[in-house]
Amino acid sequence: MYRFVTKPAFLFIFLLSVCFLSNCQYEYVEIDLPNETVLVSFSDEILPIFDNNSCTACHSNGSIIDLRRDNAYSSIVPDLINKEDPSLSLIYQYPNPTYNGHQYKKYTPYQAALVFNWIKQGAMNN
């Protein structure tokens, strides 16, 4: 009797885990990137990236660029912006998760997309 009860139970658990595991294989986290048509605010969305990612720990007074709130815009525009090809802008390219040159803090893919959109929309001090 014991055997009759446990075997199907094991089979059930086994099948359940197979279902679960195969589900996991196809499950992926979709990153919602910001929409290009939504206007990005430099002060509300870009500046906090530099503070929250501790970019400012290195990039402050005396660094090649000063990313602190009051100085960030003049450090970035126009020197680190490429209006013809926003993806070549240093402020987008350098801290990009896909770029190997800058081995320090990087943007998340979402933050990189925000910076890209901001440049594409004219790199305004808005």
Footprint of ligand HEC (CB under 6 A): 50, 53-55, 57-59, 64-65, 80, 90-91, 94-95, 101-102, 104-107
Residue among 13 and 57 whose Cβ is closer to ligand HEC: 57
User: Closest separation between CB of residue 50 and ligand HEC, Å?
Assistant: 6
Residue among 30 and 84 whose Cβ is closer to ligand HEC: 84
Enumerate residues 6+ apart whose C-beta is below 8 A from 118: 40, 42, 45, 46, 124
Distance CA 40, CA 33 (A): 13
Instruction: Output the residue with the shortest Cβ distance to ligand HEC.
Output: 55
User: Closest separation between CB of residue 123 and ligand HEC, Å?
Assistant: 13
| Side chain identity at residue 12, one-letter code | F
Angstrom distances, CA of residue 49 to CA of 8, 18, 52, 73 = 54, 41, 5, 13
Residue among 80 and 82 whose Cβ is closer to ligand HEC: 80
Angstrom distances, CA of residue 65 to CA of 6, 11, 70, 74 = 67, 62, 12, 9
Residue among 57 and 88 whose Cβ is closer to ligand HEC: 57
User: Closest separation between CB of residue 106 and ligand HEC, Å?
Assistant: 6
Angstrom distances, CA of residue 57 to CA of 43, 54, 63, 99 = 19, 5, 10, 20
User: Closest separation between CB of residue 101 and ligand HEC, Å?
Assistant: 6
